[in-house]
Structures are given as structure tokens and as C-alpha cells.
Amino acid sequence: MKTLAKEHGIALFNQASPGVWNLAPSVSTGYWEKVGDSTFVSSTYFDLAGMSMEEKTLFFEAAGTQSVVPPAGTAAAVAGDALVMLDLMSSSPLTPGEVIQATVFGNFPPTPLSFQETVYGRIDSWVVHIDTGTWGSYTLTNSEQIGSMMPTASDRVYSYRAIVLSPVAPTETTITIAAARHILKAVAKEEPDHEYMMRLLRSYQLQQEPDVD
């Protein structure tokens, strides 16, 4: 069994005007990019080309996310300030806009992501409440998982982290999201030729859209 890991760096967001957030490049690290006024995505991938060259299928045993501290705002945060955080690993590539769409719809229509292609997905809702507003700490209020852990013959598993900030939080000036690590535990096995070729065909079809590295 192999343990694979990909990291998404720390992100610091500044509110330029009510509902309009910017990424602070001097503090933020990794692959973060701004998608909309209050939405951001970090994108990378696990390179599995070595396994696919050996004509083996990757079977997932476990998947998860590691982080250190919850999101933190300023001491001026008020009860009701909120954000949504998505951690997603998939065998199909997504555009940043499609990743943001998944924070609302998961792997259900109208997103192009299906249950089979979702290796791991977790959508967390964080809110400032009356007891934590004085020091700007966010509290986890809900967490949903949507992964299938289906095996893949693809040479990549795509790793995404998305943040959707409160569109109206006039008291907040900055929000910090700690770095995170996506973990996959998997084992590479040979399958019967017919099953492997069908899985390989499906992986090829999913990756017809060009990747942006």
C-alpha cells in the first residue's frame, strides 16, 4: 500500500470592499487563484503515471484531509460571518468554476462531476457565532462527504481546495485559511485485461479536456 500526499498552502484573504475579497500574495502559498468576488480555488494533482505505465489499476483504501487550525478572521468578526470550504479529489479534471459549483451541488447535476469520478469530497460550513466573534474564530457547523473511492486507471488524481467567503461581511478585514494536506492510501493491482481496458478507456474519455498545469 502507498500513502500519497498533496499540499494546499495557507491562504490570506483581504476584503477590499463589502463582498469583494482579494488574495494576499505576500502571505498565501501554493496554487491559489481568485475565481469570483468571494471565491477562490487551489488546484494540483497526484501524478500516477508510473502505475499506469505498468498497466495497473489504483484501488483506494482511505482518503482524507489534514489541517491544523480552523479558519480565523479578525476580532471585528460578528456572529453570522460564514464561509464554505471544499476539499475534493477526483479522477476527472475540473475548471475552477466547476470546482466552485461543486461547493453548492457536490457531484450532483448540474456539475459535470459524477459519483464515480469523485474519489473523495468533503464540504464544510464554518460560521462565527456569538461566543467566538470576539477573537474571530470560525466554528464548524456542518460537514458532508460525497466520495465514492472508486478505483481508477487514470494517470492523475486531481486535488482541489475551494473557499467561498461570505458575500456580505462588512466587519471582516482579513480571513486566514490554514494549509491543508490531501491524503490518499492506495494499492496498485493488476486486473483482467477486459476490465482494465474498459477502465482505461473511461479514464481517457474523462481527460480529453486539456490540463492547465
Predicted confidence (pLDDT) per residue in 32-79, tens digit: 999 999 999 999 999 987 665 566 788 899 999 999 999 998 767 777
Predicted confidence (pLDDT) per residue in 67-126, tens digit: 999 999 876 777 788 899 999 999 999 999 999 999 999 999 999 999 989 999 999 999
Distance CA 85, CA 205 (A): 29
> Within a 10 A sphere around the Cβ of 124, how many other Cβ atoms?
20
pLDDT of residue 133: 63
Count of domains observed in the chain: 1
Tell me if 212 is assigned to some domain: no
Q: By residue range, what is the domain housing residue 195? A: 2-206
83-98 as b/e, with b when 16 or more CB fall inside 10 Å?
bbbbbbbbbbbbebeb
Helices (H), 60-124: 96-105
Distance CA 132, CA 130 (A): 6
Tell me if 211 is assigned to some domain: no
pTM, to two decimals:
0.86
Tell me if 11 is assigned to some domain: yes
